[in-house]
Amino acid sequence: MGAFLGPMGMKYNAAVRGKKGERALKIRSLIGLGLAILLAVGIAGCAWLNPTTAVLRVSDRSGVVPFRVTYDASASDARGGVDSVHWSFGDGGESVSSAGAYTYHHAGSYEIALTVRGVDGSIDRVVEIVEVAPAFWTADENLGVIYKLSPDGQLLHTIASPAPQPRGLALSKRGEVWSLHVVCMGGGFQRLFELDPETGEVLAERSAPAQSPGGLALAPQLPSVLWHVDRMSRKIYELDAGSGGVLNSYGASYFQAAPHHLDAVFLYAPTGMAWAEGPAESGSIWVLEETSMILYQLTIVPSVGLFSGTQLEIQAESISISEDLRPVSGLEWYDGFFWVVERHRHRITQVNPETGQRTGVFVPGGPGAALSGLAIQR
């Protein structure tokens, strides 16, 4: 026999459903309240576990050597107050000042780290990456102007050449101070200058050997020595960077003693010089011969006593570079590649040392009409 629910049954079921709804509502309210309490406790717990907040502010995150940034940690906070701050700039430099300025003197990618310590001993640390690019220096032989360029060809700075016809450039660094060395043809009265690259002030002036400069280079391991190649005398000169005096000179006959070099055309029309790492500790000098577009490597062998001078050993392996680059009026080595000044194209071009061909990377829009010399501030 089937069950029958009358009006009283319907009222009973409605009451039951009403009580269940109230209970579900209370449960949902309790769950919501519990979640809110847990959230509040979590936030408070995080604040309790890490009550110190480091806030790192720098003026710029990318620039060109020398790259100056200002830094500021004054927005950092800690419960009970900040006890100390510590900055690490990624190149060995440090500071414990809340704010200040710092200069990067070499190209590279650097990690700026700020560590803040609260009075209660809690610590927070934040990091930013700063990218510092090299600067490219070249000159206009006709206008007598020296240019500083960014890797994308932006003109950053100009200096008036202290004498006519600047042809060779090199950079040196003593401590935190950069110097720009310039050799000028000067209408046949060749001069060698040391300049402040920021102001253009002449720090030193000396006579230079011969009359037609073909390049200038400086080895970082021997900052007191400049290497200079001259097109007229067809010699390479080792110069004292301080006095400009000639320490040694090397003509074509000096290198012909090498058995692998008897028939080579070298120092007939040198058109660029650069220093590069290896194979020996003192590195090598590379010289570009314009007639053949061949790069010759000369290993530097330092003197071993008072009565012996620096030796240059020409290597058997040379590099033929693309004829399409001609005429080249400047040469440098940086970051595993040669860089040449393409005079007719008014640009500085990267060359693969394995193939002698362009890599496709270049500094565009070189100013002036007769670019000469190249130095990369790295």
The residue among 132, 154, 179 that closes a domain is 132
Let me know if residue 189 belongs to a domain. yes
- Lowest-pLDDT choice from 10-14, 147-151, 210-214: 10-14
pLDDT in tens, 140-171: 999 999 999 999 999 999 999 999 999 999 99
Same domain for 201 and 114: no
Q: 131 pLDDT exceeds 90?
A: yes
Name the domain count of the chain.
2
What mean pLDDT do residues 60-86 have? 97
Considering the entire predicted model, what is its pTM? 0.84
The CATH number assigned to the domain holding 93 equals 2.60.40.10
- Tell me the average pLDDT of the chain: 87
Same domain for 213 and 80: no
Same domain for 331 and 184: yes
Higher pLDDT: 220 or 249? It is 249
CA 165 to chain centre: 28
Let me know if residue 322 belongs to a domain. yes
What's the pLDDT score for residue 9?
41
- pLDDT classification of 263: cutoffs 50, 70, 90: low
Same domain for 255 and 310: yes
Phi first, then psi, for residue 97 (nearest 5°) are: -85, 150
- Lowest-pLDDT choice from 45-49, 164-168, 210-214, 244-248: 45-49
Let me know if residue 360 belongs to a domain. yes
* Domain that includes residue 121, residue range: 52-132
Same domain for 190 and 78: no
Structure tokens at 192: 């060698």
Same domain for 83 and 139: no
What mean pLDDT do residues 245-257 have? 88
Same domain for 228 and 176: yes
Let me know if residue 187 belongs to a domain. yes
Structure tokens at 75: 């927005």
Same domain for 140 and 204: yes
pLDDT in tens, 23-50: 554 555 555 555 554 444 444 444 455 6
Same domain for 224 and 363: yes
The CATH number assigned to the domain holding 341 equals 2.120.10.30
pLDDT in tens, 94-116: 999 999 999 999 999 999 999 99
What's the pLDDT score for residue 62?
97
Same domain for 228 and 107: no
Same domain for 150 and 125: no
Let me know if residue 65 belongs to a domain. yes
Q: 18 pLDDT exceeds 80?
A: no
Q: 366 pLDDT exceeds 90?
A: no
What mean pLDDT do residues 292-307 have? 87
The residue among 88, 107, 132 that closes a domain is 132
What's the pLDDT score for residue 29?
58
Q: 85 pLDDT exceeds 90?
A: yes
Name the pairing type of β-strands 145-149 and 319-320. Answer: unpaired
User: How many other β-carbons are positioned within 10 Å of the β-carbon of residue 124?
Assistant: 18
